[in-house]
Structures are given as structure tokens and as C-alpha cells.
């Protein structure tokens, strides 16, 4: 089929037809619309059939919102070809011409326009049958050059699809084209259920709440659900298991939904994430995964496996959205599956796997291709008896340096192949020469500077005392090189409120000395010698200082603070010491004191769900923008611990940490007895974790495609160099690729990630990760080797980046469009023919819709004025640097039943589906989303279980403020504590435990994470979303 047969997803920054405010099907098409994720030749687009109703304008005045400059996906950086790498300077290849022509897209309806009431969804579910989730007999797509005339999808024109021009409380029109009508039972939400989205205040507006599909009107808040403990949704009943299920189907195979519509739709008949996770663990868990094959799909991130590196990087370092790239850009446009890799260059290697080898080539330095500067790796081809090698990335033939020469065996391989890590392994390190160092001088050891806000709030809450007590012990555990006796990291201390206090802790002093800088406008460091010291040498003076700080400020009344000058002071101190390092800043309030970087409260929730909502997520520019550049240039990473009691402008304050490879930790309404241990665990992990400083990363690819966009806790000065003041074991960078030529099935696609950094001992090193992927002209191969967890990581980051320039509503619509588009393309080109009423999903993506729906219900995208702006921004900043493991559990939390746990059996009990229907009154469940642990207790929880776990006679006696379990000497208590310990060790951050009693107020917070149910602040249930996507797919295919 020709590529024109597929409708593109609208770009994030483009006004697209059929979307709020823009007239549909009239006048000339926008000249610069881009096709989803890929450029393409211009195309005519189908004018909308006369009679389709336009949605009401999204701005009250009816004026179209001004177009915004940045594109979704494209914004961050447009990459050149393979110009030159990190220094030393050498000749680079010529940059490629700009890629792809923008394309005009066919108009098609926004998700907002087609908001079926729940009754219509019920009808639709009755007629939709969920087919096999595997591949049927595969049909190869027709080539784009086939003789079939390109037919753009025509849109149906009944009023069902246009939004009815009536107030949200008016009657809904019958649904005509989406699904055949059937006798409907009561609507799904049953009595008193609220709309799935947020009710819209303007009559006639598409009622797009949190990415949900809703009934107009109705109360807001938590649904009053009838029936037993869960919300029973009247709907259609799935028929029982049937023979002849498709491969990859879940138990019961292809179940056709039929039967009396009054009965509840069986949630077990739709794809289950927990089942997919269990199946993969059963099939591949505990096995050795060797990386010797190109384009091999690794086990899921949730599966326990051991990696043996045999020429490709471990999936712990690199995971891809698909392990089989399409051969041409036309195929890529057709399926719209993003081509991306998530790179975690410093990922922790388990103890039972081999750590990375360090290769030292002496003064000659690492061997590199003369043209594209790729480093020596297993993909290089040695020729001419071993005297020359052909680079697999750019095909350039290079001479082998004399000292590196080795003979070839009868297979054409070097005889020292297995003695050299860079010829036989996917990941390894090189020691860098002086050419790779700043000013051609070896770097100094890094430094950690602790900067404590000693304003009234932090003294009163006991935070300052807590930090000082902890640091005495923690500084003994600074990270050190393998085999080193002690850490070479230097430490320094600053306290501040409106002014800054620096401390001289030189080992020769009997008492620490304080130096005050009150001119915060012109920040300088008042001492050089004695500020940054070795902890072991100055231990006595430092402990003395840490004892004195809480007493020194005990009577303070100063509540105003500065912030930008604090970071400036840290950068200046590192500059003076000529080293890189990290600032640990403990801060509690909006910086309102007169100083550079002073902030004012700009929290305006009236902007939520408007064109201007993006302002809430945008940082303040000026001082902070310059500070970010200074930090990156100096290799100064900022880790920010905030303890807010009110609005703090996280968008601005968190901007420097997220551009310097740092982290933001947030403890709202901090109380030492409740949150103290949670904070200290985070601080310990943060100080101890493995890390590299002053890093530059370059991603090289073989010919035919290139890296175009980068998402993560990074800074980019140009289109190719990813700069990170520091990079630690939890930070991941998501990289998107685009075609600039055809790829070949024979050679595949090669990716090399090279990271130049300073180690904790002050050594300059290069860390190399290589990965080879398959290429195919069959779309079925691409869908077969997709990885849902990596896909959703990409979509989360690209959407969270897009909201800085786009209305949140637009971003949500595009996510749904692209989901439908990817699945419609599979249905059209890869699945065996079947009834249109069947929903057919690729086996590797069968649970993709549940993750996508969960993403649209996250605080960032849900668009609810009930959520705090800082909470939404904090969530956005956290996700931008997440690896695949963290984004997976965040978007589909583990719900673990504890009442039936097997005391004897080791390990964590199997999780159940993340829905209220799985809870039971006499049960106890643990919900883990990587950020918080919720322990949910049913009203009828057995008293003996409560006694054994909490040492209180009944649920009523249990304090809701408890954040840890008492250590009791019985089997159940030990088992539950071991489960919590096992889960905590898998997560990068410490997780606060929250105890939730059924029907308590705290249950609202817990229910937000039951992602298969309707969202508390708007957003559809999994079943409703699947119906909606199915209808979008059918519309695309008609």
C-alpha cells in the first residue's frame, strides 16, 4: 500500500484540521505540517465532507491560538551526519542536508470530537471482539512503488463524529459509523458516576478531561460504585474460551463479545500486563542472555536474567523501541512506530556479571576511524591480511597502526580477537589521553559541596540537625574506585539564608572558621585553601563544624532565602579548585530575598486546560539559563532536596538539576519523625552511587539513519554533543533516530554510544556501548521485535517535552492518534484478514494501550486544577531522566496481595491486575510504583494478621502516620518485611510507605495508581480506552 494511504499524526506544534480553533477542510492546508515523527513529500489532503460540524474554538474569543515554533519530537536537536566526536579535533564528515520534506496531512477527527457516552461504548464493546494477539499469516505490505493508486482515508461524515453543538448537558446524538448499534444495558458508569474526563465549563467545547471520553454533566469527584467492593461495569459479556486461539492470545484465546448486554464485560478477557510479565519471567527468567546475535529482543525489564556480553551491549545499558528497523523511511512513516534507544551508560552491573574492562592503548590512545571517528569495536572488518580495517559505520578503509597490527585466522578474524575487549565485547572502557582533557591537563579529583538552607523553617523542623548528624557517618561512605582504600573526592560546606557562610575546615585548624559573604549580587568564594578538603584528613574539624551548625543558627528568625547565588558560589568554588563535582542543596522555600534569581509566586491554576497551560511548566529564564551553562561548562552537577510547605516554582528551581545530570528530591510538609528516614535513605543512596563527571556523549550510527532527538537530564549546545555535568547509574538518555537513506537487510543498523567522562578518582575515560539491530522490509518483523516498555518510555519523554510548547490537550490527542495509527497499520499489513469488529493487536504490543492510557492519566497530562502545579512539574522532571525499568513500574504499578502470601516460599508474591476489582474487603495489598509503597488494608482484614504485622489488636487501633513496620518475631512479619526490602532494593529512590485503610481519606491517593480504572482527576478506564482506540482504528481502516 502506498504511504499516502495512511493518515499522519499531527505534529505537536502545528495547528491541525479538526482541532480546537482551526477551521476544518477550508482554504489552503498549512504549508509546513510535519508527518507524525517523520518528514515526507508533500501530499494533498482530503477536504472534509460538507456537513461535518466544527468543534467550538478552544479559546473563549474564538480566535485560533497562535502557532508555536517547536515541533513534537523534533524540538530538541536536529542532528548532523556523523561529524566529529568529542576532542581531539580532527576532520569531520560533511553534514547531511536537512532531512525530509514536510507534508500536509489529511484532516481527521480529534479525539475530543468523538466523545461517546458510556452507553455507546457499551454498545461498541458488544460488537467488538478481541481477536488473537499474535500474528496471523503475515502478509507483506505492498511496496510504496506498487501500482495501487494511493487512496487517502476518507472520513465518515455523519454527525456522530463531529462534536454536537450543544451544551454539555444536552442529549448525545446516536453513534452511526463507529460501531453497529445494539440494545444497550445501563450505561457503564451506573448511577452517580462522574464523567470520565473533567466537566468543561464552556458550553459546546469538546469535553476532553484528562484524556478521557466522558458523559457530559454529572458530579465531579470519586465515583460511587454500586455492587460489591469494586465498580461493577454493566456491559456486554465475553463468551467463554474458544478453540483455535491465535498464537500469543491470552487464556481463552479469541473471545467474541456477545450475549446479553446487561452483564458486565469480563476484564479478564482483555490483555493483562501482569500476565505478560509472568509469562516472560516463566519463559526467560533465571536464564543466561548472551548478546552474540544481531537484533535479538531481550527479556522484559521485569524479568530476572543474567547477561553475558558477546559483542552487543547488555540491555541494562541499551534498550530499543524495536530491534528490527524498517529498511526505508517510507515504511517508517507508514507504521509510525518511533525508532529510538534508551541508553543508561552508567547502569549498575549485578555482582554475578562481569564489570566493564578498561583498555589502555598508552599514549597513542584509542583506535578510531579516520572519517567518522567511531571507536574500534566488534563490528569493524579487518582486511588485507590485518593491515587495514573497514569501518562498519561509514565504510571508510583505515590503516591499522603498527603497534596494533595482528594476523588474521582462516576465517578472516584477528587471532587476538578474544584477548581484546574492544574486538569481542559490546561494552568496554578506554583510558583517555591528554588530548581528551580540558587544556590538555589531567583533571583533578571531583568535589562534593554540601549547601544547607539554615532559614527558620529548616531549623524549626529539625532538618538541619538531622542533616548534620547524618553527614558525620555518611562522609565515610563517599564513592571510591574499585580497590582504592579511601575516596579521593574532596568535600566542602556552605550554610545560607539571605547571606552565605563558607567554612574553612583545614586539618591544621583546631576549630572551623566561618566566612560570610553578604553581597549576593557579586558572588565570590572568600577562601581557596581549606574550603575543599579530604574528609579523612580533616575529620575532627568537620565533625566539630557539624556539631556546631544547628546551635549556631538555633535562634534564627530569618525566613527569606536566596537560591541562584548558592549555585553560583558552588560553581565558583569548583572553578577555583579546577575540578568538577556535585552540589547537594537542601532548600525549603521560594527564594524571595533580594538577589539575582529572586522568584515570585506564578502558580495560576486558571491556566489549566487552556492554551497557556504550558507556561506553568516553563522555567523562568535569565539568571537561571546562564547558571545552567556555567554549571555544564565547569562539570558542576546540582542535586536539589526540597522541603516545601507551599508553592516553590519547581519548574524554575528544578531546571538546573535536570540540565546538569542531577536529581530533584521532594518532601512536602516535611516532619522529621514521619519523613526523616525516607529522606536520609535518599541522601545516602545519592552520595554513595557510582557516577562520572564532566561528561560528553556522542551517538554514532551506520549509514542510512542518524540520531535526531535527545531526551534526558542533559544539556545540548549543538545538535550532536550530549553534555552532562555528571552522569550516574540511574540516569537514562532517550535518543530518537530518523532515516536519511535506505538501510540494508544484510548489514543491519549499528549504533555506538561513546561517553567521555572523569572518573571519581580523577581519571579521564571513554565508555563505549555498541548495539547491532536488524533491518527489514517487512513491517511484520518490526512489530514482532517491538518492546512496549521502551516505547512507552519514549512516548512519555517526548510528550513531556512537547508540553513546554503545546497545549496539553493537543499532546494528548496526538498520543491517541499515534496509538491508533500504529495498531491500524499492523492490522492492515500484518494480521490475517478478519471481521472489522475484531480488535487485533501485535503480540509484542498487546498491552501497549494500557500503558498509553496510564500515561494520559499522569499528573502532567491529566489537566486537572485539583493537582498542585509543583507536583505536576516534579513528576515531569522525574520522568525525563528515567530508564525503562522506572517508567514501566510508574505507569503500571505492581499490586501484590499479601493476605495469601506463602510464608515458606522465598521471593515476592505474584502481582494482580492494577484495578479496584482485584481488592477484597478481607485482603491486604501492597502497591509499588517505584516512588511510594502503599499498604492497603481491607475493612474486614483478619485481626490476627493485623496483630502479627503491626502489634495492635485491630485495624481501628492502627495509626495512619506509621511509615515503617515494627520488627516483630513472627513468620508473617518477617515475610512482609523481606518483601518490602526486596522491592526497595530494586528501586533507585527510597520509597515512603503509606498505610491506607479502606474507605479512609488517604484511599483517594492510593486509587490514583489503580491504572486500569477511571482516573480520579479525569481519564478513561482501560476498557473504555481500548474501545475508543478500536473505534479510531476502524475509522482509519474504512
Query: Is the Cβ–Cβ distance between 815 and 852 less than 8 Å?
Result: yes
* Closest by Cα among 196, 172, 195 to 184: 172
Strand partners of residue 325: 775
Tens of pLDDT, residues 921-946 = 999 999 999 999 999 999 999 999 99
| pLDDT value, residue 264 | 53
| pLDDT value, residue 87 | 42
For residue 106, pLDDT over 90 is answered with no
Report whether the peptide linkage leading into residue 293 is cis, meaning its omega lies within 30 degrees of zero.
no
* Closest by Cα among 916, 877, 859, 1008 to 211: 859
Query: Is the Cβ–Cβ distance between 637 and 726 less than 8 Å?
Result: yes
Query: Is the Cβ–Cβ distance between 1025 and 188 less than 8 Å?
Result: no
**For residue 834, what are the CA distances in angstroms to 128, 140, 275, 442, 839?**
12, 16, 25, 66, 9
| pLDDT value, residue 53 | 37
| pLDDT value, residue 189 | 33
Q: Residue 169 burial by CB count (10 A; 0-12/13-18/19+): exposed, middle or buried?
A: exposed
Distance CA 548, CA 449 (A): 18
| DSSP state at residue 345 | T
Query: Is the Cβ–Cβ distance between 252 and 245 less than 8 Å?
Result: yes
Distance CA 971, CA 698 (A): 52
Model confidence at 551, in pLDDT bands (50, 70, 90)? very high
Strand partners of residue 728: 691
Of all residues in the chain, the percent with pLDDT exceeding 70 is: 74
Distance CA 794, CA 734 (A): 7
Q: Cell triple for residue 440?
A: 590538555
Q: Residue range 373-396: average pLDDT?
A: 96
Distance CA 945, CA 500 (A): 53
**Global pTM value:** 0.78
Query: Is the Cβ–Cβ distance between 812 and 1022 less than 8 Å?
Result: no
For residue 579, pLDDT over 90 is answered with yes
Question: Which range (139-153, 543-557, 846-860, 975-989) has the least confidence?
Answer: 139-153
Q: Residue 105 burial by CB count (10 A; 0-12/13-18/19+): exposed, middle or buried?
A: buried
Distance CA 764, CA 762 (A): 7
Distance CA 534, CA 490 (A): 5
Map residue 524 onto helix, strand or coil.
Answer: coil
**For residue 453, what are the CA distances in angstroms to 180, 524, 643, 657?**
64, 18, 10, 17
| pLDDT value, residue 44 | 36
Tens of pLDDT, residues 221-262 = 333 333 333 333 333 333 333 333 333 333 333 333 333 444
User: Burial code of 54-90, b = ≥16 C-beta within 10 A, e = fewer?
Assistant: bbbbbbeeeebbeebebbbbbbbbbbbbbbbbbebee
Strand partners of residue 665: 641
Find the Cα–Cα–Cα–Cα dihedral 449, 453, 459, 465, rounded to 10°: -10
Q: Cell triple for residue 964?
A: 515503617
Map residue 12 onto helix, strand or coil.
Answer: coil
Query: Is the Cβ–Cβ distance between 565 and 587 less than 8 Å?
Result: no
Query: Is the Cβ–Cβ distance between 168 and 207 less than 8 Å?
Result: yes
Query: Taken in order 135, 139, 145, 146, is the CA torsion positive or negative?
Result: negative
| pLDDT value, residue 906 | 79
Q: When comparing pLDDT for 713 and 171, which is higher? A: 713
Query: Is the Cβ–Cβ distance between 196 and 214 less than 8 Å?
Result: yes
Q: Residue 518 burial by CB count (10 A; 0-12/13-18/19+): exposed, middle or buried?
A: exposed
Map residue 974 onto helix, strand or coil.
Answer: helix
Question: Distance between alpha carbon 682 and the CA centroid of its chain, in Å?
Answer: 20
**For residue 5, what are the CA distances in angstroms to 47, 519, 764, 917, 1036?**
15, 65, 52, 41, 10
Distance CA 692, CA 683 (A): 18
Q: Pairing relation of β-strands 749-758 and 397-399? A: unpaired
| pLDDT value, residue 36 | 36
Q: Phi and psi (nearest 5°) for 676?
A: -55, -50
Sequence-ordered alpha helix ranges (H) in 558-622: 564-577
* Closest by Cα among 939, 898, 854 to 212: 854
Q: Residue 182 burial by CB count (10 A; 0-12/13-18/19+): exposed, middle or buried?
A: middle
Q: Residue range 388-416: average pLDDT?
A: 95
| pLDDT value, residue 997 | 92
Q: Residue range 566-592: average pLDDT?
A: 96
Tens of pLDDT, residues 872-899 = 999 999 999 999 999 999 999 999 999 8
For residue 576, pLDDT over 90 is answered with yes
| pLDDT value, residue 484 | 87
Q: Residue range 19-34: average pLDDT?
A: 35
* HEC assignment per residue over 792-860: HHHHHHHHHHHCCCCCHHHHHHHHHHHHHHHHHHHHHHCCCCCCCCEECCCHHHCCHHHHHHHHHCCHH
Q: What is the mean pLDDT of the chain?
A: 80
Model confidence at 559, in pLDDT bands (50, 70, 90)? very high
| pLDDT value, residue 39 | 33
Q: Residue range 638-662: average pLDDT?
A: 96
For residue 67, pLDDT over 80 is answered with no
Question: Which range (159-163, 440-444, 761-765) has the least confidence?
Answer: 159-163
| DSSP state at residue 827 | H
Tens of pLDDT, residues 174-199 = 333 333 333 333 333 333 333 333 33
Tens of pLDDT, residues 819-829 = 999 999 999 99
| pLDDT value, residue 265 | 63
| pLDDT value, residue 962 | 85
Distance CA 655, CA 662 (A): 10
Model confidence at 908, in pLDDT bands (50, 70, 90)? confident
* Closest by Cα among 94, 763, 95, 88 to 368: 88
Tens of pLDDT, residues 746-798 = 999 999 999 999 999 999 999 999 999 999 999 999 999 999 999 999 999 99
Q: Pairing relation of β-strands 513-517 and 500-504? A: antiparallel
Distance CA 686, CA 728 (A): 9
For residue 471, pLDDT over 60 is answered with yes
**For residue 976, what are the CA distances in angstroms to 224, 318, 936, 937, 946?**
32, 33, 13, 14, 12
Distance CA 861, CA 807 (A): 10
Of all residues in the chain, the percent with pLDDT exceeding 90 is: 67
Amino acid at each position: 500500500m502506498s504511504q499516502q494511504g495512511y493518515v499522519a499524526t499531527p505534529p505537536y506544534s502545528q495547528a491541525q484540521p479538526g482541532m480546537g480553533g482551526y477551521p476544518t477542510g477550508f482554504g489552503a492546508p498549512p504549508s509546513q505540517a510535519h508527518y507524525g515523527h517523520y518528514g515526507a513529500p508533500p501530499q494533498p489532503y482530503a477536504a472534509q465532507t460538507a456537513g461535518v460540524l466544527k468543534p467550538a474554538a478552544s479559546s473563549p474569543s474564538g480566535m485560533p491560538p497562535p502557532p508555536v515554533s517547536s515541533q513534537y519530537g523534533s524540538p530538541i536537536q536536529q542532528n548532523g551526519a556523523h561529524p566529529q566526536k568529542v576532542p581531539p579535533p580532527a576532520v569531520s564528515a560533511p553534514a547531511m542536508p536537512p532531512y525530509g520534506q514536510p507534508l500536509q496531512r489529511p484532516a481527521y477527527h480529534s479525539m475530543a470530537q468523538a466523545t461517546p457516552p458510556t452507553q455507546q461504548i457499551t454498545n461498541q464493546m458488544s460488537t467488538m471482539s478481541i481477536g488473537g494477539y499474535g500474528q496471523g499469516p503475515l502478509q507483506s505490505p505492498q511496496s510504496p512503488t506498487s501500482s495501487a493508486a494511493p487512496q487517502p482515508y476518507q472520513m465518515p461524515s455523519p454527525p456522530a463524529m463531529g462534536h454536537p453543538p450543544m451544551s454539555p448537558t444536552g442529549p448525545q446524538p446516536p453513534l452511526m459509523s463507529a460501531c453497529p448499534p445494539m440494545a444497550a444495558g445501563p450505561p457503564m458508569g451506573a448511577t452517580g458516576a462522574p464523567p470520565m474526563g473533567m466537566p468543561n465549563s464552556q458550553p459546546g467545547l469538546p469535553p476532553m478531561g484528562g484524556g478521557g471520553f466522558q458523559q457530559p454533566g454529572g458530579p465531579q469527584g470519586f465515583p460511587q460504585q454500586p455492587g460489591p467492593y469494586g465498580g461493577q461495569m454493566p456491559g456486554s459479556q465475553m463468551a467463554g474460551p474458544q478453540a483455535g486461539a491465535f498464537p500469543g492470545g491470552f487464556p481463552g484465546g479469541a473471545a467474541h463479545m456477545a450475549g446479553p448486554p446487561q452483564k458486565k464485560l469480563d476484564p479478564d478477557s482483555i490483555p493483562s500486563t501482569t500476565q505478560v510479565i509472568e509469562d516472560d519471567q516463566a519463559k526467560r527468567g533465571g536464564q543466561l542472555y548472551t548478546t552474540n546475535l544481531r537484533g535479538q529482543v531481550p527479556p522484559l525489564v521485569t524479568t530476572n536474567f543474567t547477561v553475558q556480553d558477546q559483542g552487543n551491549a547488555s540491555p541494562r545499558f541499551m534498550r530499543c523501541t524495536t530491534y528490527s528497523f524498517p529498511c526505508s523511511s517510507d515504511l517508517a512513516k507508514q507504521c509510525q512506530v518511533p525508532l529510538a534507544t534508551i541508553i543508561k551508560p552508567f547502569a549498575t552491573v549485578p555482582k554475578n556479571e562481569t564489570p566493564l574492562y578498561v583498555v589502555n592503548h598508552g599514549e597513542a590512545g584509542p583506535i578510531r576511524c579516520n572519517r567518522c571517528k567511531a571507536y574500534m569495536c566488534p563490528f569493524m572488518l579487518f582486511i588485507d591480511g590485518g593491515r587495514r580495517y573497514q569501518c562498519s559505520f561509514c565504510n571508510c578503509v583505515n590503516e591499522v597502526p603498527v603497534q596494533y597490527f595482528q594476523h588474521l585466522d582462516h576465517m578472516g578474524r584477528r587471532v587476538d580477537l578474544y584477548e581484546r575487549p574492544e574486538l569481542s565485547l559490546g561494552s568496554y572502557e578506554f583510558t583517555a589521553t591528554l588530548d581528551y582533557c580540558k587544556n590538555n591537563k589531567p583533571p583533578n579529583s571531583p568535589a562534593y559541596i554540601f549547601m544547607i538552607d539554615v532559614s527558620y523553617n529548616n531549623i524549626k523542623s529539625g532538618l538541619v540537625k538531622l542533616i548534620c548528624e547524618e553527614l558525620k557517618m555518611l562522609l565515610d561512605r563517599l564513592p571510591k574506585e574499585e580497590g582504592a582504600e579511601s575516596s579521593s573526592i574532596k568535600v566542602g560546606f556552605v550554610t545560607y539564608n539571605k547571606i552565605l557562610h563558607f567554612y574553612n575546615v583545614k586539618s591544621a585548624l583546631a576549630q572551623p572558621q566561618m566566612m560570610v559573604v553578604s553581597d549576593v549580587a557579586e558572588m565570590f568564594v572568600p577562601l581557596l585553601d581549606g574550603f575543599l578538603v579530604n574528609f579523612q584528613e580533616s575529620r575532627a574539624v568537620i565533625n566539630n563544624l557539624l556539631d556546631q551548625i544547628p546551635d549556631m543558627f538555633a535562634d534564627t528568625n530569618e525566613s527569606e532565602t536566596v537560591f541562584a547565588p548558592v549555585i553560583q558560589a558552588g560553581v565558583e568554588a569548583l572553578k577555583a579548585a579546577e575540578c568538577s563535582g556535585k552540589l547537594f542543596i537542601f532548600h525549603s522555600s521560594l527564594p524571595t530575598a533580594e538577589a539575582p534569581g529572586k522568584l515570585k509566586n506564578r502558580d495560576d491554576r486558571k491556566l489549566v486546560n487552556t492554551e497557556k497551560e504550558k507556561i506553568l511548566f516553563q522555567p523562568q529564564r535569565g539568571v537561571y539559563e546562564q547558571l545552567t551553562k556555567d554549571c555544564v561548562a565547569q562539570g558542576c552537577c546540582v542535586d536539589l532536596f526540597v522541603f516545601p510547605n507551599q508553592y516553590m516554582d519547581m519548574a524554575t528551581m528544578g531546571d538546573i538539576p535536570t540540565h546538569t545530570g542531577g536529581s530533584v528530591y521532594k518532601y512536602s510538609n516535611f516532619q522529621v519523625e514521619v519523613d526523616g528516614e525516607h529522606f536520609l535513605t535518599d541522601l545516602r543512596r545519592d552520595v554513595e552511587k557510582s557516577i562520572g563527571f564532566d561528561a560528553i556523549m556522542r551517538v554514532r550510527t551506520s549509514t542510512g539513519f542518524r540520531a535526531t532527538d535527545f531526551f534526558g537530564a542533559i544539556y545540548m549546545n549543538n545538535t550532536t554533543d550530549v553534555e552532562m555535568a555528571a552522569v550516574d547509574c540511574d540516569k537514562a538518555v532517550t535518543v530518537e533516530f530518523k532515516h536519511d537513506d535506505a538501510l540494508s537487510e544484510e548489514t543491519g543498523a549499528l549504533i555506538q554510544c561513546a561517553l567521555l567522562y572523569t572518573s571519581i578518582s580523577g581519571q579521564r575515560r571513554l565508555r563505549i556501548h555498541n548495539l547491532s539491530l536488524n533491518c527489514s522490509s517487512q513491517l511484520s518483523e518490526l512489530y514482532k521485535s517491538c518492546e512496549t516498555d521502551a516505547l512507552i518510555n519514549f512516548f512519555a519523554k517526548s510528550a513531556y517535552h512537547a508540553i513546554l510548547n503545546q497545549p496539553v490537550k493537543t499532546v494528548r490527542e496526538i498520543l491517541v492518534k499515534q496509538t491508533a495509527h500504529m495498531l491500524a497499520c499492523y492490522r492492515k499489513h500484518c494480521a490475517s484478514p478478519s471481521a472489522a469488529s475484531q480488535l487485533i493487536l501485535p503480540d509484542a504490543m498487546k498491552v501497549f494501550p494500557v500503558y498509553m492510557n496510564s500515561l494520559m492519566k499522569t499528573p502532567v497530562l491529566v489537566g486537572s486544577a485539583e493537582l498542585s502545579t509543583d507536583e505536576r512539574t516534579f513528576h515531569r522532571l522525574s520522568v525525563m531522566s528515567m530508564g525503562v525499568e522506572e517508567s514501566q513500574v510508574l505507569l503500571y504499578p505492581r499490586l501484590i496481595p499479601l493476605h495469601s502470601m506463602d510464608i515458606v516460599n522465598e521471593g515476592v508474591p505474584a502481582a494482580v491486575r492494577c484495578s479496584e476489582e482485584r481488592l477484597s474487603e478481607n485482603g491486604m495489598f501492597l502497591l509499588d510504583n517505584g516512588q511510594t509503597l502503599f499498604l492497603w488494608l481491607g475493612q474486614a482484614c483478619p485481626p490476627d494478621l493485623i496483630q502479627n504485622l503491626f502489634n495492635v489488636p485491630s485495624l481501628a487501633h492502627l495509626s495512619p502516620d506509621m511509615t515503617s513496620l515494627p520488627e516483630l518475631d513472627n513468620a508473617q512479619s518477617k515475610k512482609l518485611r523481606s518483601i518490602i526490602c526486596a522491592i526497595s532494593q530494586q528501586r533507585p529512590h527510597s520509597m515512603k510507605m503509606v498505610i491506607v485503610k479502606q474507605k479512609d481519606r488517604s484511599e483517594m491517593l492510593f486509587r490514583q495508581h489503580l491504572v486500569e480504572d477511571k482516573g480520579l482527576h479525569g481519564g478513561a478506564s482501560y476498557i473504555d480506552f481500548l474501545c475508543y482506540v478500536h473505534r479510531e482504528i476502524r475509522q482509519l481502516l474504512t
